[in-house]
Structure 1
């Protein structure tokens, strides 16, 4: 039996429509969108346009041209941060961030005259609003937060923070890597200025495609980051300043965008809330089972309604790296061990430097997967006595 429980890294399997869409683009369309007026290039244009429309709907966004495609969410966050931040800015983030936020900010702290505060979250991975308010300064210009933790699934109170940012004229950037497609993500309800997304996690697309949504206010602050051919204004040697071309230089990953469109269409047809409820039920069943294994510690909230279905554990009987290895080798259960590219988050939940064993559920897991995994964990733990 094979059980895949590493959906926070990338969802697997994908809907069949995703595979066929990528294959169809590569085999039957093939052309470079925006680089030709013939029929197959125009078909590529239509697919990219349709994907922007689908992203508008799933994020409740209303500016088609303000949706930018990139290679992945790490590229998106680097563009959003490094094209915007100015000397003298005070920036706030949290201790639950992924290195895709922490490393660019650390680089900016070294290369620019900025002030950076990393607010320590609770052991359940949640930012305290009062701590946030107390960290604000007169020169606070940017707040960057993950929506949900990639280790314990904790969900940040973004609407409250967004309201404060809007009142104070502070730019607000969201990392939705672990939330988009798993829980509702509403651009305007959050009150953010930019939202970075990745295609290959809960949006169910292939690897190698991501992007961001940006409002006009932050766009006016931002400089183009990667410059080159856009298929527009080809007579000019300077980068276009209109969207999306300002940020989209070079050949887009059109097969990846076709796959992403298919993934979003699948979510829309199934219903995001329906997917969320199924995953939440499985998550609660898994947590309850883990809590019945005496030597296992579950990190974060034990109520599935307070988290995404990403669960980290440790056992006092066996190292998490060895436990993950045995699950894969002997039982075909695939989960992830270690620090998950989020060292400060592990310090926050008191699991640094050993990390955790992380299980993350997806829309194609079922109750048999969970019960089998709980059974195997019990067998391994008992075997350590």
Structure 2
């Protein structure tokens, strides 16, 4: 199987990831922070080491401001529901994943928040002048994805961060498609909250993720319960990170996540981004040479996500044929991002999405080109 669906979940993982998870389960599979015995301390040490690695990766000064979550969507819901209040005004973009759009739309219905979507501009994927002018006295948050999961376009977070800082409004960033693949510095980029999954560019297992929260941002917990501290008190503790990590953490998953981050740090994000950019350009060039294939690549800087369609063939059918007849895994449809498809003008049928990763090769893409050429000829009656 040639796996080209890394925008959903990266695979394969570094061997160190499964080794770390196995070591945790076999040798110290106790609850972190829920007991004074040595197994519990070992588990807690693994959790805190992964937290430290995350802080290092995102240039966070205090690791206690890194909160572990189930995934990026959980992190996004924690950020939105822990910060927004009834009647607040929120500014976001036309590129957002449902992890952003659906919670906002639900809160608009249930809490009366106002949501303003900023479209693309003539000079970039987001109209920055319109975004800045949209800020009102009751604007409480600006939310933006860092890169589209449809065509990989990179959103100018640094410039949005400058606007947010100038206007005194926190900036929440969805780093689902960039964490581990593009350098992120939360302070220099003006990011107040950063939501990310562990199973994509960080090369960890599913069921992991996290949220960075700026130290001066008074976020409310999404889930209340046991934290392993202040157990004599009925009130939720306020200290980070425990205030936001009620219940038992996914210690084996966090162990694997730590190994994935270590791999990323050792290889270097710039090197990973360079290699994936080369693959992406090779992919775009190869697709454009095929007849009846329309490529929806970004004209701006992007990550390794490319969408296309085949004239006269539904995207879902293309993906099914690639899977069943050629053993090539891609994803087709709307990719949980209706807003982005509306922005691109592909909301009628969606697209086929190809997302090569660090472990893919040009030979993998050559086989994709050959398969698509045969599919086009078959449906054209050639």
TM-score (norm 2): 0.97
From 325, 331, 340, the counterpart of 1:336: 331
Q: Does 1:358 align with 2:345?
A: no
2:274 aligned residue: 277
4+ residue stretches of structure 1 with deviation over 3 A?
122-125
Q: CA RMSD in A?
A: 1.4
1:1-385 map, 5 Å: 2-121=1-120, 126-218=125-217, 220=218, 222-301=219-298, 306-385=301-380
With 290-299 and 114-123 compared, the bigger mean Cα shift is at 114-123
- Provide Cα deviations, 1:263-307, integer angstroms capped at 9, x if missing partner: 00011111111111111111101100111113111113257xx11
5+ long unaligned stretches in structure 2: none
Partners of 1:162 and 1:246 in 2: CA distance: 27
Aligned length: 380
Deviation of 1:133 (Å): 1.8
Kept in 1: contact 2:291–2:376 (CA 8 A): no
**TM-score for both structures, normalised by structure 1:** 0.96
Distance change >3 Å, CA 181–CA 371, structure 1 → 2: same
The answer (yes or no) to whether the contact 1:282–1:366 under 8 Å persists in 2 is yes
Q: Distance in 2 between matches of 1:125 and 1:105?
A: 24
**1:339 shift after superposition:** 0.4
Q: Is the 8 A contact 1:339 1:353 kept in 2?
A: no
* Aligned counterparts of 1:226 and 1:120: Cα–Cα separation in 2: 34
Look up the SS of the partner of 1:92 in the other structure. strand
* Unmatched tracts of structure 1, length 5 or more: none
Contact preservation (8 Å) 2:17, 2:204: yes
Q: Distance in 1 between matches of 2:63 and 2:263?
A: 21
